[in-house]
Structure 1
Amino acid sequence: MKLATLRTASGGTTAAIATGDATYLALPASDVGALLGQPDWRAVVDAAAGETIGNPEYAALTPNARKVICCGLNYGDHIQEMGRELPEYPTLFAKYADTLVGANDAVEVHGSGRVDWEAELAVVVGSELYRADEDQAREAIAGYTVANDVSMRDWQNRTLQWFQGKAWDATTPVGPVMVTPDEAGGHFDVRGYVNGELVQQGNTSTLVFGPAQLLSYISQFTILRPGDLVLTGTPGGVGMGMTPPRFLQDGDILTTEIDGIGCLENTFRIHSSVAANA
């Protein structure tokens, strides 16, 4: 099944299930994260009888996620382009729910001149996990979605800690839908485009740490709950790895696509006194 968080005419949001081409059925939950917090959420979906919504406007999939945890340097080609060795353990950092935006929202950036793209598969947690093994972690995956870990490289590179370049409010698009594992398949082709030009392409079969490994590892030190997100890393082709480095310009359209899940398309408005390629 495919689930989404849609904006309603009243300005709120509702969780919804896809019923056909661009048609959704409203569910009794404010968003997908809230839906997953119901122990019987699958039964709720099966019994859905809400309003049918056409021409959906997507909100961030889990706008109130309590934890958004990201893995850096998790594709072999991206690790190589960044000049690093294969890691023994996942390189993790956190974002806040404030960073999340919808699949077609415009992204406003103030104060960075090196705005970079990172197309990613994201995992949506469906049940509580703490000190879980990989089999338990795999069972706790509610589904998969598309994300872009947009990064402000000038801020990221100010120190050895990445947080300040990664956690900018309203800069991380997530969606448009969550696809449950039974429908999603095993591995995913992940692609990123800038103004229609393919800049990133990879397959999750080449991840150093797969989704279940990541969830299990994270759960050893912090509890994961329904609606939490784990971003699994980005393939090669980021702007900072190009020669010369290339970054998003004001008005650029960033497209993030994963076969079988969907596509994000976000226009960037970059307000900075710093030259974009400085």
Structure 2
Amino acid sequence: MAKNGHSQSSSYTNYVAYQDPKIQGQSRIGHLDLQASTIQPLSFLSGAPLSDLYEVIEIGEAQIKPLGEPFPLSSIQLLAPISGRDVLAVGKNYAEHAKEFNSSGYDSSDKTDQPTHPVIFTKRSTSIIAHGESIFPHPGFTETVDYEGEIGVILGKSGYRVSEKDAWDYVWGYTIINDVTARERQRDHKQFYIGKSPDTFCPMGPIAVPARKLPKTLRVETTVNGEKRQTATTEDFIFSIPFLVKTLSEGQTIQPGDVIATGTPAGVGFGQKPPIWLVPGDVVDVSVTGLGVLSNTIAEPTSKNPTIARVSTTTHIPISNLDKTCGGVGLTTIGCHGLSPTSAASAVTIEPYASDFDNLAEQLNIKDTTVIAHSMGCLVAMTLALKNSALVSNLVLIGPPPSPVPEAGRNGSIARAAIVRSSGMAAVVDAVITAGTSAKSKTENPVAIAAIRMSLLGQDPEGMPKDAQRWLELRKLYL
């Protein structure tokens, strides 16, 4: 039990996403202490670190524990608490805002002050940014950048045609959203999507908190450069959260991690007399009961759109064995035979492995080496010796394979690689041991057989077939 009488998991529910400082591109989840401005890393009960809020929602608070020591918030880069999906957003959900919008000249959606049905639109996932990130003003695209402080509802269960009376069972928690908007684009395109989805136009965070940890009624307030512009509570909604969940699930399946931006109160920029648009240097702060403050600054028009770099570094091509390297960022040892990192888009050949070894030796200033290699690693070692004879003074080869590969060996390895890809390493371990070890070893040396079995089972089901393919495609190594 924690000092305050609660279980450890219930004490750490200000969930914050952040960039792992040691592993590029790896997100982590922690608890943000809003008073101390420190982050407590969190993990599964197994000790494996949490990577995103989707994991938190699925596993539940009772299966989460603190990991290591807290560190200063200022020492890391915050991420949006949840991302990767378009935000489901609600327009005109406060009566006073609906009136100011209808009379503003920017509302092309309706002619009445108060909608009879929820106005639903989406904000593209690429518009999501974190607390503290700058909002890109998109010069040439809009001159009417406006703010909308909102309460974000995060769903916790899948559902279809959820009834209004059961809807609270599908709500996991809350976060803060600033529904930044290009007003003239919202007006001219009739529908809201174009004006609501520009890159960086969906600041979110800094934290996400389970609903049970917060009061029933939440207040949202927005300030611009310290001047209060908006304030209202969830009691002021035209359409309640249960009604919104019911509406959104009537014809589509809602999912855990879906975010609903519930609408903004009166007091936005176009509601001022005259309208006041956001300009570079303006600081917009949105606060919600129990969720802290979401703060973002309007960037200079000469700045770069950060979304381009973020999206361009994303890849959907898997890399096998990357977790076997230091920090998951690159080679530290040459694993060979299914143990080295490899992209699914890359064909494995002997030469790159030899070059990796050569480059590693140069980087570490290694000279006059004795290289010991086994099985297919012998082909790499021999290629290295041919490539850089000054580096290799002694070459010890254990069980080198034939070169070129006999046809029967080629066919057998092709079949084995297919089995590994479909059924995993366990499906071929016995066959490899039977064909590749002596009768004496099998009957008199169980430790050696166990070591071989462990070595094979430790190989990646994709890395091993790719490595086998490399061997098959090698017709002959000329010495």
TM over 0.5: yes
Instruction: Supply the distance in 2 between the matched residues of 1:136 and 1:223 (Cα, whole angstroms).
Output: 15
Q: 2:78: which partner in 1?
A: 58
Q: 1:35: which partner in 2?
A: 56
Q: 2:211: which partner in 1?
A: 181
Q: Does 1:241 align with 2:271?
A: yes
- TM-score between the two structures when normalised by the length of structure 2: 0.53
| Structure 2 counterparts to residues 169-248 of structure 1, below 5 A | 169-248=199-278
How many Å apart are 1:250 and its aligned residue? 0.8
Instruction: Supply the distance in 1 between the matched residues of 2:227 and 2:261 (Cα, whole angstroms).
Output: 23
For 2:133, which of 93, 96, 105 is the aligned residue?
105
Instruction: Supply the distance in 2 between the matched residues of 1:101 and 1:78 (Cα, whole angstroms).
Output: 25
Q: 1:23: which partner in 2?
A: 39
Relative contact order (alpha carbons < 8 A, sep ≥ 6): 1 or 2 greater? 1
Q: Does 1:89 align with 2:117?
A: yes
1:26 and 1:52 in contact (8 A); partners too? no
Instruction: Supply the distance in 2 between the matched residues of 1:237 and 1:33 (Cα, whole angstroms).
Output: 33
Aligned letter for 1:167?
S
2:153 and 2:173 in contact (8 A); partners too? yes
SS of the residue corresponding to residue 252 of structure 2 reads coil
Q: 2:92: which partner in 1?
A: 73
How many Å apart are 1:228 and its aligned residue? 1.1
In the superposition, relative to structure 1, how do residues 61 and 182 fare at CA in structure 2: closer, same or farther (>3 Å)?
same
In the superposition, relative to structure 1, how do residues 97 and 78 fare at CA in structure 2: closer, same or farther (>3 Å)?
same
Over alpha carbons, which structure has the higher Rg?
2
Alignment gaps of 5+ in structure 2: 1-12, 44-48, 103-111, 303-479
SS of the residue corresponding to residue 159 of structure 2 reads coil
1:34 and 1:227 in contact (8 A); partners too? no
Q: Does 1:123 align with 2:153?
A: yes
Q: 1:6: which partner in 2?
A: 18
In the superposition, relative to structure 1, how do residues 211 and 52 fare at CA in structure 2: closer, same or farther (>3 Å)?
farther
SS of the residue corresponding to residue 227 of structure 1 reads coil
Instruction: Supply the distance in 1 between the matched residues of 2:54 and 2:89 (Cα, whole angstroms).
Output: 18
Alignment gaps of 5+ in structure 1: 273-278
Instruction: Supply the distance in 2 between the matched residues of 1:19 and 1:190 (Cα, whole angstroms).
Output: 20
Instruction: Supply the distance in 2 between the matched residues of 1:61 and 1:141 (Cα, whole angstroms).
Output: 16
Instruction: Supply the distance in 2 between the matched residues of 1:18 and 1:129 (Cα, whole angstroms).
Output: 30
Instruction: Supply the distance in 2 between the matched residues of 1:218 and 1:26 (Cα, whole angstroms).
Output: 32
2:145 and 2:181 in contact (8 A); partners too? yes
- TM-score between the two structures when normalised by the length of structure 1: 0.90
How many Å apart are 1:270 and its aligned residue? 4.8
The structure where helix makes up a greater share of residues is 2
- Structure 1 vs Structure 2 CA RMSD: 1.7
SS of the residue corresponding to residue 63 of structure 2 reads helix
Instruction: Supply the distance in 1 between the matched residues of 2:92 and 2:130 (Cα, whole angstroms).
Output: 25
The structure where strand makes up a greater share of residues is 1
How many Å apart are 1:13 and its aligned residue? 1.4
1:252 and 1:268 in contact (8 A); partners too? yes
Instruction: Supply the distance in 2 between the matched residues of 1:200 and 1:220 (Cα, whole angstroms).
Output: 32
SS of the residue corresponding to residue 82 of structure 2 reads coil
1:103 and 1:264 in contact (8 A); partners too? yes
What is the total number of aligned residue pairs between the two structures?
267
How many Å apart are 1:260 and its aligned residue? 1.4
2:30 and 2:39 in contact (8 A); partners too? no
Aligned letter for 2:219?
D
1:67 and 1:224 in contact (8 A); partners too? no
How many Å apart are 1:55 and its aligned residue? 2.3
SS of the residue corresponding to residue 269 of structure 1 reads coil
Q: 2:315: which partner in 1?
A: none
Instruction: Supply the distance in 2 between the matched residues of 1:246 and 1:232 (Cα, whole angstroms).
Output: 23
Instruction: Supply the distance in 2 between the matched residues of 1:19 and 1:199 (Cα, whole angstroms).
Output: 27
In the superposition, relative to structure 1, how do residues 60 and 186 fare at CA in structure 2: closer, same or farther (>3 Å)?
same
Partner deviation per Cα, 1:52-109 (whole Å, 9 max, x = no partner): 3422342111122x34100000001101112342221100001122111111111112
How many Å apart are 1:247 and its aligned residue? 0.4
Instruction: Supply the distance in 2 between the matched residues of 1:109 and 1:127 (Cα, whole angstroms).
Output: 36
For 1:146, which of 176, 187, 194 is the aligned residue?
176
1:19 and 1:25 in contact (8 A); partners too? no
In terms of mean alpha carbon deviation, does 137-146 or 21-30 score higher?
21-30
SS of the residue corresponding to residue 107 of structure 1 reads coil
How many percent of aligned residue pairs carry the same amino acid? 28
Instruction: Supply the distance in 1 between the matched residues of 2:255 and 2:206 (Cα, whole angstroms).
Output: 21
For 1:165, which of 157, 172, 195 is the aligned residue?
195
2:18 and 2:79 in contact (8 A); partners too? yes
Instruction: Supply the distance in 2 between the matched residues of 1:112 and 1:31 (Cα, whole angstroms).
Output: 33
Instruction: Supply the distance in 2 between the matched residues of 1:226 and 1:168 (Cα, whole angstroms).
Output: 25
